[in-house]
């Protein structure tokens, strides 16, 4: 059974950086895309960044120029480098993998506060 393991969340001051990782374990084939959503309290889950198997990327307007998504196909791992963090980036971040099925990570809390 394939599982996604997220890591890298935590508490950071405004202007700081964090790097999230999401590794897929188990047998997984034909990954079409990977990415990250986030959900802040009282708000809907929103797409933060996505990357296709070919390396094409897509970002929410609110994070363009600050966040960078990347992937290691050999390790079935997707990363989210988050720089210049703002309090409004505070949320639970969920990774996903789109293969023959859609898989979700358990979520990792990111809190940006002084």
CB atoms inside a 10 Å sphere around CB 111: 15
Phi and psi angles of residue 33, each rounded to the nearest 5 degrees, phi first: -160, 160
Q: What is the pLDDT of residue 27?
A: 77
Cα 56-61-65 angle, rounded to 5 deg: 70
Give the separation between CA 66 and CA 103, rounded to whole angstroms: 26
pLDDT tens per residue, range 36-66: 999 999 999 999 999 998 999 999 999 999 9
Q: What is the pLDDT of residue 1?
A: 79
Instruction: Please identify every stretch of the chain with a pLDDT value under 70, giving residue numbers as ranges.
Output: none
Residue written as tokens 């997984």? 28
Q: What is the pLDDT of residue 29?
A: 77
CB atoms inside a 10 Å sphere around CB 49: 24
């Amino acid at each position: 059974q394939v599982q996604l393991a997220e890591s890298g969340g935590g508490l950071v001051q405004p202007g700081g950086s964090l790097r999230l990782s999401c590794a897929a374990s188990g047998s997984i084939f034909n990954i079409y895309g990977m990415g990250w959503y986030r959900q802040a309290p009282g708000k809907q889950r929103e797409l933060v960044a996505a990357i296709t198997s070919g390396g094409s990327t897509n970002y929410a307007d609110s994070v363009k120029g600050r966040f960078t998504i990347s992937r290691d196909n050999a390790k079935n791992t997707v990363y989210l480098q988050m720089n210049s963090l703002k309090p409004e980036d505070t949320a639970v971040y969920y990774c996903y993998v789109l293969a023959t099925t859609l898989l979700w990570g358990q979520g990792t809390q990111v809190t940006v506060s002084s």
